Structure formats: C-alpha cells, structure tokens
Amino acid sequence: ETGVTQTPRHLVMGMTNKKSLKCEQHLGHNAMYWYKQSAKKPLELMFVYSLEERVENNSVPSRFSPECPNSSHLFLHLHTLQPEDSALYLCASSQGAGGRTDTQYFGPGTRLTVL
Amino acid sequence: SQQGEEDPQALSIQEGENATMNCSYKTSINNLQWYRQNSGRGLVHLILIRSNEREKHSGRLRVTLDTSKKSSSLLITASRAADTASYFCATRTHAGNMLTFGGGTRLMVKP
C-alpha cells in the first residue's frame, strides 16, 4: 500500500462544502485512476489520466472535478456533493493506460461521508 | 450490465478448506485479473491470466480461464483466517484503457 497513498483517509463534509482528495504514487507509473466504491455496487471507474491527460471520463457529474498536475499526483475536487456521493474513493496507478497487461496498484482509499 | 460477475456473492468456510470463486463475463477479453480487498481498504492485485492461457498458479492461488464459456475461477487452497476478504475479478478488453470490475465475492474463513 505504500506505493500509492491517499489523503485524507476519512472525510465528512456538508453538501455546501468544497474539499479535495489527494492521491500520490511513488511507483513511477504514467497512468492514474479514480474509482468510486459504494456499498453493494461494483467498483465504478470515474476518471483515467495518462501522462497527465484525461483519457476517460465516465459520465461523472460535474460536482467531481479531477486534476492531474503531474504523473505522480492526482486530485479529486469536490463541491456541492449529495448524500448519495458517500462512498469509498479509490485511487490507482499503472505503468501505462493502454498497456494490455497493465495491472493496477490501489491506494487505501478515502472514506467520504456527505451529510 | 457489468462485464464481470462473481459467484457466489458470499462464501463462508473453515480454515484449511479450499475456497473456489467464479467469474463470468460477457465480451471478448485481452486478460482477466483477480484482486483482493480487505474491508474498507484498497484493492491488491493477485494474479493476471491472459486470454491465451488456461491456468495459472501463484502460491496457494490457482486461476483458470475458459474463454469459450467466458468464465474464470479462483481457487484458494488450504485457506487461512487471514484470507478473509472480498475478491474481485476484472477484465480488460482488447481495445480498452479500462479494467471493468465485478461485484466481488466476500470470503470469510473461520479459524
């Protein structure tokens, strides 16, 4: 787990708050991902960045705004969230985004609760 | 509908027994991967099997892939209490940038 770190680990926010989730990978990878994991639902891919460019955006509401300033850091900016956005948000990285055998390395996640 | 679906959704066994989990998928794949997740934590990659492979081993793990049936199985032999976790299969298509995950199997190994 030390290869991909996420902060904070837990976050409670109101619907009018603005907060950011941070992910950092120490593996020298070129691709980074945001996933949402809700109870009793499969893992949902939100965004994919390859070499700091967004290559996938899976119809995510605009209240989630990703930022990838460099290949080691990924942010997810949150504003005016809804209670149904409460979930575990997982960051992952891989060597490349297009590699056919790429495995992904996950961070420990941020447990988000929206009141 | 999701690409990968695990079966069973939950499995409870005694320590020392073998655990078998199955994954079915719908479209042609390049590879299939199995991940493990301890409660409330990130996923950890266990094993990858390519579409031209039929079986793969890693320690106490054995994965099979049947592309004609679009299914895979993960066998954990001689299970331990520490194997208690959720196990997910994930598929990568030939064209995709993404892994598509199934809903997972929750395994409980009782000491």
Non-local (6+) Cβ contacts of A59 within 8 A are none
pLDDT at residue A97 in the model: 64
DSSP B22: E
**Weakest-pLDDT range from A37-41, A56-60, B21-25, B90-94:** A56-60
pLDDT-derived band of residue B2, with 50, 70 and 90 as boundaries? very low
State the DSSP string of chain A. -TTEEEE-SEEEE-TT-EEEEEEEE-S--SEEEEEEE-TTS--EEEEEEETTEEEEE-S--TTEEEEEEETTEEEEEEES--GGG-EEEEEEEES-SS-TT---EE---EEEEE-
Question: Is B43 within 8 Å of A106 (Cβ atoms)?
Answer: yes
Beta carbons within 10 angstroms of residue A103's beta carbon: 18
Task: Render pLDDT for A84-95 as a digit per residue (tens, 0 to 9).
Answer: 999 999 999 998
pLDDT at residue B74 in the model: 97
DSSP B4: E
Entry field: residues in chain B:
111
Are A50 and B2 within 8 A, CB to CB?
Answer: no
Is residue B4 over pLDDT 90?
no
Tell me which chain A residues have a C-beta less than 8 angstroms from the C-beta of B85.
none
CA angle B66–B7–B57, rounded 5-degree value:
50
Is residue A53 over pLDDT 50?
yes
Q: Which residue of A has its CA nearest to B96?
A: A98
pLDDT at residue A100 in the model: 55
Q: How far apart are CA A56 and CA A50, in angstroms?
A: 9
The CA distance from A70 to the nearest CA of chain B, in Å, is 19
Q: Is A55 on the interface with B (CB under 8 A)?
A: yes
- Specify burial of residue A44 (Cβ count, 10 A radius: 0-12, 13-18, 19+): middle
pLDDT at residue A1 in the model: 47
Q: Is B85 on the interface with A (CB under 8 A)?
A: no
Is residue B3 over pLDDT 80?
no
Are A101 and B48 within 8 A, CB to CB?
Answer: yes
Is residue A101 over pLDDT 60?
no
pLDDT at residue A40 in the model: 76
Non-local (6+) Cβ contacts of B20 within 8 A are B73, B74, B75, B76
- Percent residues over pLDDT 70 in chain B: 94
Q: In the predicted model, what is the mean pLDDT of residues B61-87?
A: 97
- Specify burial of residue A22 (Cβ count, 10 A radius: 0-12, 13-18, 19+): middle
